[in-house]
Structure 1
């Protein structure tokens, strides 16, 4: 009987998917009144983005109609009229924390919430991020467990609404360093919070990197220096030794993973760059020698300006969620918030858009654009390039993200006014498409 069932199933499969039978394709045409298909180059006027099965087929001048496409029997076509809008590639945020959002009582969640709870939290943050126009993000440090990987994979399957997620898993950090979530808890609680990213010594650090890859990490993040928001009065300088940094980077690269380093202090920044990291997050006390190392290596700087802006009113608030240790370090870092990135930009360092969302509410990511223009001195076009073309390269995804070119993912957004005239128009995205599927449309 079993053999008959198998034979019937094979016959049914053969009739359903006959060799040589054409598969129906899904076509989408976006009519754009203004189109920045290749950020860094001049925008087009009155153009069409032609999409087939979720990927960019081509971009043409004028408004292409369905009857002009080479449709086969069974193919479907949808036209989106954005002739009154400004269209550009989906935005990329190279530094978010989807499982986290700092607020009063946030540390209690790390104890109270299960892995499933954290996944639900991350799913909500992912949706807010996508609706803000960010179609791809890199999650650089999540709550210990599989929550971030579950959300990433759920988005990829279509079970969860959110951007494409490139996850680092647990941050690679020293015991007691920035990234050790057990800091500040009593020993009983701390023993249950040991992160798989904690390592001491070169051999241990190699193992920690391999553990993240085993768990499913797309990228690797390390903490080269202490951090503002960790519960440790350790300043903001280098924490890993040079041989540990070199072991982390070499191991990650040998396993095909890009490496970015959280780094505030100047010596920690330079040590991480010498070890071969692909990017530096924050870079607060960057000096001239560090700028030269950036230029030599081609590494990206992700300045993450939004926390500096968002934390200013929190530091001295009587209702602040920050501890005295955190406040002291925040004041130290904020003194240079409007200086280091400007000097880096003037010195020719490559800037990649990154916000550290989670330190401030998810969905407010685009406020970083105004800071890049006002604080760093970037032009609106340069700021957009940092979140598209350069953002894709920073993630190692330049072949499929960052511009609207043939073969790339059909990830695009639209705003009502010219972002090259006022980059803050990107704070009000009215249309979001990811992979050819629309998630947000302009109000009627």
Structure 2
């Protein structure tokens, strides 16, 4: 899979953030979690599930200094850790997993900082240490990302996309909401693309938002999807795309070389004899087109192509399963593009084929949700798709880091990576529901005890209606 270098335009911002964080720590005001300093902390005696898919390792020590993991090894084996200057946290009887990653969120369509901060807080205190924002008003998302990175708000780190789509998409009212004050399609974070667009300039403008990636969204023909992808990669920025960029079929999206495709459901449209002409046509996929039993051969071909290109699948399966269940009590609601069983079948075939699957949700769960939506996606992979819990944790950690282009720094518990992990009281390898036994989240070395979680309030979630 293409691994982009950090664009040069980000160095000034990165330096500013580093200096700001250092100054905050020095002043003793590093944010709502316990402050990370140069003093080392030894997390001792835990069972470690490292995120790689490997079996759990019992009685392990994790040595953390400032933001990063210095060493991991059997209890008592790490050199120098018997020094009295080390702060030790006894984790015997506990389980440690890497910080979870939700690879499909929307934080600002339209912008609502209070609500977004509430959702991000709920995520962090439940073990989510990074999210991938899939195109919103980046003026708001960039500020949330800065606040999260600096520790000014309790939140996962945020990696985000600038959107590109065909001209007809920009009639969508969501675009106006996410581009307020700018002509729809003309903002650097949501650009209308056609055959006359200077793609070099368009990608450069998108990079200027400090986006991690471009999102190729809708209403673009195959040649433009391929040209956008090639130019983005030339400029060392990732490409995240819908798995069908109507009218572009999934095979053409995948073969364009995009890094991640979202929505397993949309892959099914490869089987439609006549492809939908635009994203705005929400005609559901015709289930009868799939092979009556076993793996579908056309879908199998898509998965071979994904493996060849190193493409990650951001499945968003739990969304479709949950919506099916809701329609049983609300039959008046229009169906989504795929049923829950069809989506489950497509994701199961992807998993069996070896396609890497990340845990995106495309849902924030609303006020009534106690736990983050990514828990639903992980449960979907285990209980609906049939993944063993260890593999589902791998999807929610290392594969999520790869989808966000951040695997060098996060996604697994190993020396040199950020100290991003969750401490659980019960074994998630035996029961994935044990994610709810979380004791604390450690993000960039800062501790966020579950007991200190301020629950999301109605005022935070609904305050725009009251203004």
Q: State the TM-score, normalizing by the size of structure 2.
A: 0.73
Give distance in 2, aligned partners of 1:420 and 1:203.
53
Tell me the equivalent position of 1:8. none
Tell me the equivalent position of 1:7. none
Q: Give 1:123-142 correspondences, 5 Å limit.
A: 123-142=117-136
Aligned length: 377
Structure 2, unaligned stretches of length 5 or more? 1-25, 27-36, 269-298, 453-467
Tell me the equivalent position of 1:13. none
Task: Determine if the alignment matches structure 1 residue 336 to structure 2 residue 317.
Answer: no
Tell me the equivalent position of 1:59. 72
State the shift of 1:148 in Å.
Answer: 0.3
Give distance in 1, aligned partners of 2:338 and 2:247.
14
Tell me the equivalent position of 2:46. 33
Task: Determine if the alignment matches structure 1 residue 424 to structure 2 residue 433.
Answer: yes
Indicate how the Cα distance of structure 1 residues 384 and 202 shifts in structure 2: closer, same or farther if over 3 A, else same. Answer: farther
Could you tell me which of 217, 242, 250 is aligned with 2:222?
242
Indicate how the Cα distance of structure 1 residues 67 and 401 shifts in structure 2: closer, same or farther if over 3 A, else same. Answer: closer
Indicate how the Cα distance of structure 1 residues 335 and 86 shifts in structure 2: closer, same or farther if over 3 A, else same. Answer: closer
Rg larger in 1 or in 2? 1
Provide Cα deviations, 1:183-203, integer angstroms capped at 9, x if missing partner. 6999xx998655632323144
Task: Determine if the alignment matches structure 1 residue 288 to structure 2 residue 283.
Answer: no
Give distance in 1, aligned partners of 2:308 and 2:226.
17
Tell me the equivalent position of 2:157. 164
Indicate how the Cα distance of structure 1 residues 208 and 359 shifts in structure 2: closer, same or farther if over 3 A, else same. Answer: farther
Deviates more, 1:256-265 or 1:293-302: 256-265
Tell me the equivalent position of 2:278. none
State the shift of 1:149 in Å.
Answer: 0.4
Query: Aligned to 1:46, what secondary structure does the other structure show?
Result: strand
Query: Aligned to 1:216, what secondary structure does the other structure show?
Result: coil
Indicate how the Cα distance of structure 1 residues 333 and 174 shifts in structure 2: closer, same or farther if over 3 A, else same. Answer: farther
State the shift of 1:217 in Å.
Answer: 0.7
Query: Aligned to 1:330, what secondary structure does the other structure show?
Result: coil
Could you tell me which of 380, 384, 393 is aligned with 2:389?
380
Tell me the equivalent position of 1:396. 405
Provide Cα deviations, 1:301-345, integer angstroms capped at 9, x if missing partner. 111112113322444655x9xxx8xx5451645451221111111
Tell me the equivalent position of 1:210. 204
Tell me the equivalent position of 1:175. 167
Contact 2:186–2:192 (Cα < 8 Å) also in 1:
no
Task: Determine if the alignment matches structure 1 residue 45 to structure 2 residue 58.
Answer: yes
Indicate how the Cα distance of structure 1 residues 414 and 180 shifts in structure 2: closer, same or farther if over 3 A, else same. Answer: farther
Query: Aligned to 2:64, what secondary structure does the other structure show?
Result: strand
Contact 1:266–1:290 (Cα < 8 Å) also in 2:
no
Query: Aligned to 2:411, what secondary structure does the other structure show?
Result: coil
Contact 2:426–2:437 (Cα < 8 Å) also in 1:
no
Query: Aligned to 2:416, what secondary structure does the other structure show?
Result: coil
Task: Determine if the alignment matches structure 1 residue 409 to structure 2 residue 433.
Answer: no
State the shift of 1:245 in Å.
Answer: 0.3
Indicate how the Cα distance of structure 1 residues 32 and 282 shifts in structure 2: closer, same or farther if over 3 A, else same. Answer: farther
Indicate how the Cα distance of structure 1 residues 122 and 209 shifts in structure 2: closer, same or farther if over 3 A, else same. Answer: farther
Task: Determine if the alignment matches structure 1 residue 83 to structure 2 residue 85.
Answer: no
Contact 1:223–1:263 (Cα < 8 Å) also in 2:
no
Give distance in 1, aligned partners of 2:257 and 2:346.
21
Could you tell me which of 191, 201, 225 is aligned with 1:198?
191
Tell me the equivalent position of 2:279. none
Task: Determine if the alignment matches structure 1 residue 268 to structure 2 residue 246.
Answer: no
State the shift of 1:208 in Å.
Answer: 4.0
State the shift of 1:159 in Å.
Answer: 1.2
Contact 1:94–1:302 (Cα < 8 Å) also in 2:
yes
Give distance in 1, aligned partners of 2:324 and 2:168.
26
Tell me the equivalent position of 2:4. none
Query: Aligned to 1:161, what secondary structure does the other structure show?
Result: coil
Indicate how the Cα distance of structure 1 residues 250 and 152 shifts in structure 2: closer, same or farther if over 3 A, else same. Answer: same
Contact 2:243–2:254 (Cα < 8 Å) also in 1:
no
Tell me the equivalent position of 1:68. 81
Task: Determine if the alignment matches structure 1 residue 346 to structure 2 residue 355.
Answer: no
Indicate how the Cα distance of structure 1 residues 185 and 252 shifts in structure 2: closer, same or farther if over 3 A, else same. Answer: closer
Task: Determine if the alignment matches structure 1 residue 223 to structure 2 residue 204.
Answer: no
Query: Aligned to 1:419, what secondary structure does the other structure show?
Result: coil
Query: Aligned to 1:337, what secondary structure does the other structure show?
Result: helix
Indicate how the Cα distance of structure 1 residues 366 and 267 shifts in structure 2: closer, same or farther if over 3 A, else same. Answer: same
State the shift of 1:267 in Å.
Answer: 5.7
Q: Give 1:315-334 correspondences, 5 Å limit.
A: 315=327, 327-330=333-336, 332-334=338-340
Indicate how the Cα distance of structure 1 residues 333 and 213 shifts in structure 2: closer, same or farther if over 3 A, else same. Answer: farther
Query: Aligned to 1:367, what secondary structure does the other structure show?
Result: helix
